[in-house]
Amino acid sequence: MTNTWLNDASTDGVQNTTLVLIKPVGLSHWPTIKKMILNTAPISRTRLVKVTESLIKEHYDEHREQGWFSQLTNYFVGRYVLAVEISADPLKIRKIIGTTKPTDPTNTDTIRGLINSLTPEDTTMTEYTKGIDNLIHGADSEEAAAREIKLWFDSPMPRNPQYLCLTNHNLEMEGAVSPFVGIQFDLANSNALASHVTDLLEAMPWNQHWKTAGNTIPTVVVGGLTPVSIIGMQYLTTFSGRKLKFGWMNPETGEMQVIDLQMVRNRATRHRR
């Protein structure tokens, strides 16, 4: 399938709250998408979700009989999306989202129309988007919004991770989560970068669990994208009110190595004397 956009929808129904999903490619461009959304309506809440097969199949259930259903759903399994609840009716938000196919002439100044300028020069739009990922999904009716908000925000919270990877590598270890995997961060603007990173961290479902005294906070794995790791460490330390345990992602092997912070503290103490 080439350059085919799959989530066709009607525009029936109106409500005061709606849902959008920022798809995997869209996560890299969240600051721009967020600005376009906030210029139209306020955001109520967000949740960063690692997509399971059952979750995405239920989300796209209306397309189950289509021949491309498996291709569509398989694309999302194991990846992260950002669920965003917006205080607006679906039609209002779908106007700024644009039509399903980003190359439509009517998509000037829409979120999906951004793809025309975001696609790297050394690839094609189809390669960049896999012919599926048009940055964002928007509920198409009052009924759909209610169903999707419940589906994405009320789905069970995953088990508390043992390791939280703050690089864009995929840490393949039991009990590890890598919410930044595949995301391209803009390192040229420090304030925009800090907002991008903290938006995603704030949307993780375990935050309130980590904030509660006595609950386990994961070992933080750093390496690679140094500014992203620094922002993430500062946020998690301040939010949880606790000292963090750290690991280091070896960029050559992709393996995690534990950092002995007590040894570092001991050396620093000796040098203060």
DSSP string for 77-90: TT-EEEEEEESS-H
The two structure tokens encoding residue 28:
């890299």
| Rounded distance between C-alpha atoms, residue 5 and residue 92, angstroms | 21
Q: What is the pLDDT of residue 8?
A: 44
Q: What pLDDT was estimated at residue 273?
A: 67
Q: Which two tokens stand for residue 37?
A: 């959304």
**pLDDT for position 122:** 87
- Distance between terminal CA atoms of the chain? 68
**48: Cα within 13 Å, side-chain hemisphere:** 23
Residue 88 makes CB contacts below 8 A (sequence gap 6+) with 16, 17, 18, 40, 41
- Set 29, 59, 63, 137: catalytic member: 137
To the query of whether residue 59 is one of the catalytic residues in this protein, the response is: no
Instruction: Kindly list the averaged pLDDT for each block of 10 residues, start to end, along the chain of length 273.
Output: 40 68 97 96 95 96 91 95 95 93 88 90 87 93 95 92 89 90 92 95 92 87 84 91 84 75 81 73
Amino acid 13: pLDDT? 44
Nearest-5° Cα angle at 244, 241 to 245: 160
Q: Kindly list the distances between the CA atom of residue 88 and the CA atoms of 7, 15, 69, 144, 145, in Å, as whole numbers in the listed order.
A: 21, 7, 29, 14, 11
